[in-house]
Structure 1
């Protein structure tokens, strides 16, 4: 059983289903409204836990009803929340998600407490990081906190996985130099490298630039097409299962969390882990909501 520590965001998601996306200045009817647990960090933690990892979390919520609700849900997943700070005078992070009939989504994010913790809180939870196999982070929390977590991980020979989302064009070298695996989608890969990623050839060019920054393993997710990886002189597009998407929210998070449950620290089973994670994501996109859509290990198998 792998041990995964996630440094990241915790949100309450407000979802609105619509027939099509709204245009600027336009008002349309929604056809369904619901709330669900979310946040890229929390989604990845739930995916890792449901896939069988021993999972820990470092992050923050506000001292409010939403924060208590989110923590209770993480604990129900048997996730260690001892590294989650409860911040006074801050609201728990929230995301507002619109999903159309094609399963595409539009997301607006309010950080709240997710931006109210930093390197100091990470240092307090160093033992969680040092006793992990993988540390996973995204960009919905302060980059300084993520960098500190990855530095602690590198010193302890713990592998790091960075999901550079939301996309940032100017990621600090200090963070990239302590990143072992980077997992952007096509748009995020282009934002970081300047390479327009549309196929395997362009993905390989983007991967080369990411390797130059010191990153050992590059995985670029291509949605319905699958996931491209470039590692140790070998590259390949691993196809995804062909399923009709009703909601793509948390598909990428499912991929990353699930992968961390199976991947070996020497990356010797990288393709196998990607295939497994593709299957998990194909289940996620057939369901609505972020965490409610994430599959369990027995479903993936």
Structure 2
């Protein structure tokens, strides 16, 4: 069975500066090298889903600039349907400046551009598209009001909605009411709930927090400790794969996209899907760049067989 995934999200051109260490405030340091690659949380998640076999459609916006054309081509090369990507004549294509240190850690500055200029209703009635969709994914590099508009349409068509609240900031209460699955990392989860994650009890308390606000399923990525899941049918921790990271950019995005390529709409196979998604993410961090580092389904399955 092939999952049909729609991603509402950001499209950025990433410029990465490779340094030995991060600069101190006010300090100027030399970068060893500089590279550019297609990225953006939404685009990365769509590519991860498509490379793992999902039929993938992107909903978003780029500027009427060279970077926008570059990103449209990059998505098309990954067999992603770009017919619902609008061209914004007034705002540039989103971009990100990434500083990557010798340990594979990064910090990122994002210019939203066309991503943040999107307005509710600008994509019109997507009911025909959503009628054939299994999962709709959104993040927070695009306006929450746009996500709410599409999530409402998705629920009318029986689509499972997935919210990746990154970067974390206060969530519109109504958006949570239309969210089936929320997937923060541990830092984002603590910021959103005010609950410090110290043990299983605190993670279950976080699940209760979201469930009281309408979200049935919680997935918390815990870095090298794995992923905690809590659904109406149970909870548990799926351990991470131990690898040496060279670049953590797009690791979380790979996880989300790969997960939705494998997951059943009712999350009945959540543990197997989480294991697959974590294996995909573990391959991403062993490669440089955002989109270029995302593995194919064949890569992931081969790696799982080696376990």
TM-score interval for Structure 1 and Structure 2 normalised by the shorter chain: over 0.9
Give 1:199 shift. Answer: 3.6
Asked whether the equivalents of residues 186 and 220 of structure 1 are also in contact (C-alpha less than 8 Å), the reply is yes
Equivalent residue of 2:278, what SS? helix
Give 1:45 shift. Answer: 0.2
Task: Name the stretch that deviates more: 68-77 or 28-37.
Answer: 28-37
Asked whether the equivalents of residues 92 and 114 of structure 1 are also in contact (C-alpha less than 8 Å), the reply is yes
Which residue does the alignment assign to 1:54? 55
Runs of 4+ that moved beyond 3 A: none
TM-score (norm 1): 0.97
Equivalent residue of 1:123, what SS? coil
Equivalent residue of 2:123, what SS? helix
Asked whether the equivalents of residues 161 and 182 of structure 1 are also in contact (C-alpha less than 8 Å), the reply is yes
Give 1:247 shift. Answer: 0.8
Which residue does the alignment assign to 2:295? 295
Which residue does the alignment assign to 2:151? 150
Per-residue deviation, residues 103-161 of structure 1 (Å, max 9, x unmatched): 11101110000022222223243422232000000000011100011000111100000
Asked whether the equivalents of residues 259 and 273 of structure 1 are also in contact (C-alpha less than 8 Å), the reply is yes
Q: Distance in 2 between matches of 1:175 and 1:296?
A: 32
Give 1:30 shift. Answer: 1.2
Give 1:233 shift. Answer: 4.8
Which residue does the alignment assign to 1:244? 244
Equivalent residue of 1:59, what SS? strand
Equivalent residue of 2:196, what SS? coil
Q: Does 1:21 align with 2:14?
A: no
Q: Does 1:262 align with 2:262?
A: yes
CA RMSD of aligned residues (A): 1.0
Per-residue deviation, residues 31-74 of structure 1 (Å, max 9, x unmatched): 12100100000000000000000000000000000000000000
Task: Name the stretch that deviates more: 16-25 or 66-75.
Answer: 16-25
**Number of aligned residue pairs:** 300
Asked whether the equivalents of residues 255 and 277 of structure 1 are also in contact (C-alpha less than 8 Å), the reply is yes
Q: Which runs of 5+ in 2 are unaligned?
A: 302-307
Q: Distance in 2 between matches of 1:48 and 1:157?
A: 20
Asked whether the equivalents of residues 147 and 175 of structure 2 are also in contact (C-alpha less than 8 Å), the reply is yes
TM-score (norm 2): 0.96
